[in-house]
Structure 1
Amino acid sequence: MQILIRSARVVDAASSFDGQLCDLLIDNGLIRQMGTDLVAGETTRVIDGHNLHVSPGWVDMRVLAQDPGFEHKEDLASVCRAAAAGGFTDIAVLPNTYPVVDTKDTLGYVRRLGEGQPVHVHVVAAITRKAAGDDFTDMLDLHHAGAVAFSDGHHPLQNPDLLLKTLQYLQPINGLLMNRPEEALLTRFGQMHEGVQSTLLGLKGIPAIAEELIVERDLRLLDYVLGKRKESGVEKADESNPPSLPVLHFSTISTARSVELIRMAKAQGLPVSCDVAAHQLVFDDSAMADFDTNLKVNPPFRSPQDVAALWAGLANGTIDAIVSDHTPQDAESKNLEFDQAEFGMTGLETLFSAVVSNNRGLSLSQVVDKLTTRPRYILRLPAASVAEGQVASLTLFDPTGTWTFERTLSKSKNSPFLGQTLTGRIVGTVHQGQFIPAV
C-alpha cells in the first residue's frame, strides 16, 4: 500500500529535511521519496491537513498495560489503541502484571499479544521474582528472550545489595536497569507531597527526601560498580568521546534536588539517564485541594519550585525523556475516600497535549527529541529518522491544533484531562506500512 503525506513540516534533527515542508511517499513500509509536488497513484492514500507536522514515531518508556491479570482495568489491545491515538508507535510495558513478567513464559505471552497491534510493544522484565525485591530473576534468559530493560516497575528497588549486583550482572550484556527512586520506609501511608499543602489538607505527606536519598544512593553504587574514582567537585565529561549508553535509568523523577544530582552525575561522566511523567510538568501540590483521586499519583505532585526545576532539567538536557506513566485504574479503585484510592492516572492519549498546553519554553524540536531520539537510545532500540530509505515509523501531528478529550480508548477513565480542551492534536501514525488515524 502506498501512502502520500502532503506538505508536512519535518521535525527531526537527524534528517536533512528538518524544519522543511515536504511530501513523503511511503511504499511497502519504507519512505521511498521525499520532496515537493510528488505524484500520487490511483490507489495511493493521500494524507494532508492544516499545519501538518511529521516526526519519527514516538516512544513511551513507561506504560502499565495491566495484562495479564488485571484485564478489567486494561488489556494489551486497549492500551495499544490508546497509545496509537496518543501518537506513539512504540511503548515499553512494565512487568507489574499477574503473574509478574519474571519468566520467559510470561514475557513470551506479552510479546505474542503484542504482535499485530498498532504499536510496537517492548517488554520490561522484572529484576526480582514477583517484583518482590527478594530473589533475582534469570535476567540473562530474559534478556535473550527479548526483554528491553529490567525493572521492578512500580516497586522501587529497596535493597542496595540487589541493585549493586544487578548493575554488575547487566554489564556484560549491555543491559539497562530502570528504578523508580523511593525510600519506602519514608513514604508509608503517604498520600501527597509533604509540605504546606499536605498540612492544610490533613493528609500524610510523601517527603521529597525519600526520592532524593535513593537517587543519591543509586548514583554512588553505580560509581562504585564502574570503579570510578572522582575528585571532589563537578568534572565535565570529555566531549571528545561520546557518552556510553546509560546503564542506570531513573523513572519519573519529581524533585529539584533529584534533577541536580543527576545533572552532576552526568557531568562526571556516569552513564545515567532519567525521565519525567508528563503530569508532573502540569500540576503542583496545590492541585490536591479538591481531593480529586484522579490526581493521586506516585511520585506525587511536588512544589511549584520542583515543577520549575523539572522544566529546566528538560531544557538543559538533564532529563532525557517524557513518559506517560500510564497507570489505568478502574472505578472501584478510584471512587473511594482519598486515602483509600489507588495511585495512578492514564496518560497515553494526552501526553503530548499536556506538555504543549503547559509548555514553559521548550522548543517543539526539544519536545519531540524527548519522545523519539532519547528514549530509543536509552532502550537500545534502532534509531528512526524521516529520511529516504528509512522504515516509515512516523507520527503526524498539529502542534497548534486544539481538541477536546471527550472519550478515552483506555478501559479505565482515571484521567483529570477528560472533558478538557487541549492544544496539540495528533493526526495519526504510520506503523508497519499502515496509516492509523487518531480517533
Structure 2
Amino acid sequence: MKILIKKALIICAHSSFNNKTMDILVSDGIIANISENIDSDSETEIWEFNNSHVSIGWLDFSLHLKDPGTEWLETLDSMQSAALAGGFTEVVGFPNTHPVIQTKESMGYFKNFSDRNLLQIHNFAAITKNCEGNDFTDMMDLHHHGAVGFSDGNHALQNADILLKSLQYLHALNTLLVTKPEDKYLSMFGQMHEGLQSTLLGLKGIPSASEEIMIMRDLKLLKYANLSSETPILHFSTISTAESVELIRKAKADGLPVSCDISANQLAFLDTDLAGFDTNLKSKPPYRAASDREALKAGLADGTIDTICTDHNPLNEELKNLEFDLADFGAIGLQTAFGAINTHSELGLSTLIEKLTVSNRKLLRQPLPNIEVGQKANLTVFDPTLNYVFKEKDIVSLSKNSPFIEKELKGKALGVLNNKQAFKNK
C-alpha cells in the first residue's frame, strides 16, 4: 500500500515539519518521505484535497462500548466505521460491556480486533467486580495485560474507601483512575440540569452539586493519600459545571496529580436547547447553563481541562424514542466530535489538535506517534474550514441518537492511516 498525501499543512508540535505544507508518502504503513513535492507512480494512491491538514491520529479518550453484549446498539465494526469517519485512529472504551471488562480474556477480545484492523481499541478495565463498587478486580493482572487505566465507567464510585484504596494501589502501577463524578442519590430521578429551564419544562433536575460534591470529596481523598506523581493519578471524566472547573484548577495549582476531560457535545448545547424535549439531548452529565459552558471553554484554553472525549453512547429507537423521562441518557459523537469542538470551543487549531492527540496519550502513558520519515504512519487528514450540515443518512453507527442531525458544523476528517491500513472519507 502506497499513499501520497499532497500539499498538507502539518499540525504536530513535536515534528520538525510542524506548520509546513508538505507532501507525505506512506509505504507499507511507514512514512517513507516528506518533501515539498513528491512524484507518484501508477501504484500510488493520491490523496489530494482543497485544504488538507494532517496531524498524528486522533485518540478518543473515552466511549461506551456495546460489543460484546448489546451488539444491536453497536458492533465493533460499526463503531470502527464511525470512528474512522470521525478521524479517530485510536479509542479507549469504558468497561461496562456484558461481560464486564475485568479479566485478561475479556481484554483479549479487543486486542484481537485491533491486531487486524485500522482502529486500535484500548481499554479502561473495571476497578470493582462487575462495576458494582464492592470488591476489587485483579488490577495488577489487568494492568500487565494492557489496561490503559481503570474505571467503573458510568457507575460512579460512591464508596470513599474503595476510591482511596484504588488510588493508593494504582499509584504503585503508575496508571490512571478514571471516574465520572456523580452523587447518585442527589441526581436520582433527575432528567436534565436543575435550573429555570427544568422548572419551566416540569422535569426533575440534576443539580450541579451532584457533580461538585463528588469532585470535592475525591480531591480531599487524593490530598489525604499524599501520593507524589509527576503525572495525574486521578482523572475526572466529562465534567460539566463552572465550579467543577474551578475546583480542579485550584487542585492543580496546589500540586495535586489530577486531570479531567469534557464531552465534545457539552460545548455545543445548553439546558435551554431541551425546550423541544428532544431525547437525543438527554445526556449525563446534562447540558447546563451558559455560564457553565463559558467556564468549560476557559478551562480548555488555560489547560485546566486536559482533553476532550466523544462520550459516544449508541442507543436505539427503543431506548430513545420515548417520553422524555423514560428515555435513556446518552448520544453518539464519534463522527461529529471534531466539528463540534472546532465550531464551538473557540480554541486555536494547534491547541485543539493537541487536546485530541498529545495530552490524552500522555495521560494514558501511551507512546506518542510522530510525523517524521521512518515513523509508523498513524495519521489523520482533515479540513478545519469545511462547512457541512450533518444528516441522519450520514450516520454509520447502528444507532442514530445524534443531537447534531440537521445542524451545521465546521471542520471534518478526510481520511486516516494506521496499522498499515487506510480509510478515505467519501
Query: What is the DSSP-based 3-state SS (H/G/I as helix, E as strand, rest coil) of the residue aligned with 1:214?
Result: helix
Residue 244 of structure 2 is aligned to residue 276 of structure 1: no
Partner of 1:123: 123
- The CA RMSD measured in Å over matched residues stands at 1.3
Partner of 2:323: 337
Where does the alignment leave 5 or more consecutive residues of structure 1 unmatched?
A: 229-242
> CA offsets, 1:186-238, max 9 Å, x none?
0000000011111111111101011011111111111121257xxxxxxxxxx
The 5 A counterparts of 1:109-258 are 109-226=109-226, 244-258=230-244
Query: What is the DSSP-based 3-state SS (H/G/I as helix, E as strand, rest coil) of the residue aligned with 1:22?
Result: strand
Q: Distance in 2 between matches of 1:425 and 1:127?
A: 36
Q: Distance in 2 between matches of 1:102 and 1:170?
A: 15
Identical columns (%): 50
Instruction: Kindly indicate whether the alpha-carbon contact (under 8 Å) linking 2:58 and 2:357 is maintained by their aligned counterparts in 1.
Output: yes
Query: What is the DSSP-based 3-state SS (H/G/I as helix, E as strand, rest coil) of the residue aligned with 1:69?
Result: coil
Partner of 2:400: 413
TM-score by length of 2: 0.97
> CA offsets, 1:297-328, max 9 Å, x none?
00000110000000000000010111100000
Residue 393 of structure 1 aligns with an amino acid whose one-letter code is N
Query: What is the DSSP-based 3-state SS (H/G/I as helix, E as strand, rest coil) of the residue aligned with 2:211?
Result: helix
Instruction: Kindly indicate whether the alpha-carbon contact (under 8 Å) linking 1:26 and 1:433 is maintained by their aligned counterparts in 2.
Output: no
Q: Distance in 2 between matches of 1:419 and 1:431?
A: 31
The 5 A counterparts of 1:342-381 are 342-360=328-346, 362-381=347-366
Q: Distance in 2 between matches of 1:72 and 1:227?
A: 43
Q: Distance in 1 between matches of 2:123 and 2:112?
A: 11
Using the TM superposition, name which of 350-359 and 324-333 deviates more.
350-359
Query: What is the DSSP-based 3-state SS (H/G/I as helix, E as strand, rest coil) of the residue aligned with 2:415?
Result: strand
Partner of 2:54: 54
Query: What is the DSSP-based 3-state SS (H/G/I as helix, E as strand, rest coil) of the residue aligned with 1:91?
Result: strand
Using the TM superposition, name which of 26-35 and 120-129 deviates more.
26-35
Instruction: Kindly indicate whether the alpha-carbon contact (under 8 Å) linking 1:81 and 1:118 is maintained by their aligned counterparts in 2.
Output: no
TM-fit CA distance, 1:357: 2.0
Partner of 1:29: 29
Residue 341 of structure 2 aligns with an amino acid whose one-letter code is V
TM-fit CA distance, 1:356: 1.6
Q: Distance in 1 between matches of 2:68 and 2:199?
A: 39
Q: Distance in 1 between matches of 2:22 and 2:84?
A: 24
Residue 268 of structure 2 is aligned to residue 308 of structure 1: no
Where does the alignment leave 5 or more consecutive residues of structure 2 unmatched?
A: none
Partner of 1:105: 105
> CA offsets, 1:74-98, max 9 Å, x none?
1111111110110000000111111
Residue 203 of structure 2 aligns with an amino acid whose one-letter code is L
Compared with structure 1, are the counterparts of its residues 17 and 113 closer, same or farther at alpha carbon in structure 2 (3 Å cutoff)? Answer: closer
How many residues in Structure 1 have an aligned counterpart in Structure 2? 424
Instruction: Kindly indicate whether the alpha-carbon contact (under 8 Å) linking 1:276 and 1:321 is maintained by their aligned counterparts in 2.
Output: yes
TM-fit CA distance, 1:142: 0.9
Q: Distance in 2 between matches of 1:114 and 1:430?
A: 14
Q: Distance in 1 between matches of 2:173 and 2:163?
A: 16
Q: Distance in 1 between matches of 2:371 and 2:239?
A: 30
Q: Distance in 1 between matches of 2:303 and 2:246?
A: 12
Instruction: Kindly indicate whether the alpha-carbon contact (under 8 Å) linking 2:117 and 2:421 is maintained by their aligned counterparts in 1.
Output: no
Query: What is the DSSP-based 3-state SS (H/G/I as helix, E as strand, rest coil) of the residue aligned with 2:325?
Result: helix
Residue 2 of structure 2 aligns with an amino acid whose one-letter code is Q
- 1:327 aligned to which of 310, 313, 316: 313
Using the TM superposition, name which of 382-391 and 183-192 deviates more.
382-391
Instruction: Kindly indicate whether the alpha-carbon contact (under 8 Å) linking 2:114 and 2:120 is maintained by their aligned counterparts in 1.
Output: yes
